[in-house]
Amino acid sequence: MPDATPDRERVERAFARCFSGPEGEIALAYLRRLTFERFHGPDTPEAALRHLDGQRQLVATITAMIERGAGRS
């Protein structure tokens, strides 16, 4: 679980600023397409599934940081 330090809040605000505006929305939409809108077939090796799951987790973390940081702007 992430800590509630001022540094974390500063990082969250930075993510919110980086992904705000049209360019940030395009970049975040691209990351979502690469991860959440990508599916593998039943013969996909476990390593590939784990890799995609890690990518999805990273995009979910970025999205959560953006949402928390936008609330602190």
pTM attached to this predicted model: 0.84
Answer whether 65's CB lies under 8 Å from 18's CB. no
pLDDT of residue 1 exceeding 90, the answer is no
Given CA atoms 22, 31, 14, 73 in this order, what sign does their dihedral have? positive
Per-residue model confidence as pLDDT tens digits over 32-65: 999 999 999 999 999 999 999 999 999 999 999 9
CA angle 19, 24, 25 (to 5 degrees): 110
Where does the pLDDT of residue 6 fall: very low under 50, low under 70, confident under 90, or very high at 90 and above?
confident
Q: What is the mean pLDDT of residues 25-29?
A: 97
Residue 4: its pLDDT value, please?
63
For residues 51 and 55, what is the distance between their CA atoms, to the nearest angstrom?
A: 6
